[in-house]
A = this chain, B = another copy of it.
Amino acid sequence: MDYYSGHITKLIEAFSSLPGIGAKSAQRLAFHVLNMPLEQVDELTEAISQARRNVKYCKSCLTLTDEEMCPICSSSKRNHKQIMVVENPRDLAAYEKTGKYTGVYHVLHGAISPMLGIGPGDIRLKELMQRLQGDVDEVIVATNSSLEGETTAMYISKLIKPTGIKVSRIASGVPVGGDLEYIDEVTLLRALEGRTEL
């Protein structure tokens, strides 16, 4: 990296440390920043700094938000008796984009992964169980369809069953528009098992 001067090298290294940004992209980003108008650069650093300093966890669903309580949890239009459990705020956003889900969420901030040493105590399950002491009809487990997501879903289901609250799991199967030919065997089998009558 000593082909570049100190400041440039530091900048490239800072960008490389971000997820999904390799050596080449980091270089491209660095030179882009060096050519950006100064105000725009200050806007970027300000956005980073302000977000990191002011964003907090919603005290109810634990998603990231600017307020004590997120807009969804504070809304009277949402059904607070239906809680969808997701792994992270991006998954919450994905379901919000559908515009059809009217319940609220609970963000685990992770999934159980024995491989990575992440146990049930490392994700926000305790907070979920606390919420269930209130008036809740249904918990929809919408963790990812990965090994970790499935493990987490099974764990949550076992945890909640004794309380008598309904626990459901989002369906897995062939994605809409998916071409069977390109879909992995596990998904195809899941789709078969989960078939519904027409």
Question: What residues make up the interface of A, taking CB atoms closer than 8 Å to B?
Answer: 3-8, 10-11, 13-14, 17-21, 25, 27-34, 36, 38, 40-45, 47-55, 64-67, 70-71, 88-90, 92-93, 96-97
Contact = CB atoms under 8 A, between A and B. Distances in A.
Contact of A51 (B7, B64, B71, B90): B7
9 contacts: A3-B97, A7-B55, A8-B51, A8-B89, A14-B47, A17-B44, A20-B28, A36-B52, A38-B53
A52 B48 contact: no
Contact of A5 (B41, B49, B70): B70
Contacts of A29: 18-21
A105 to B, nearest CB: 11
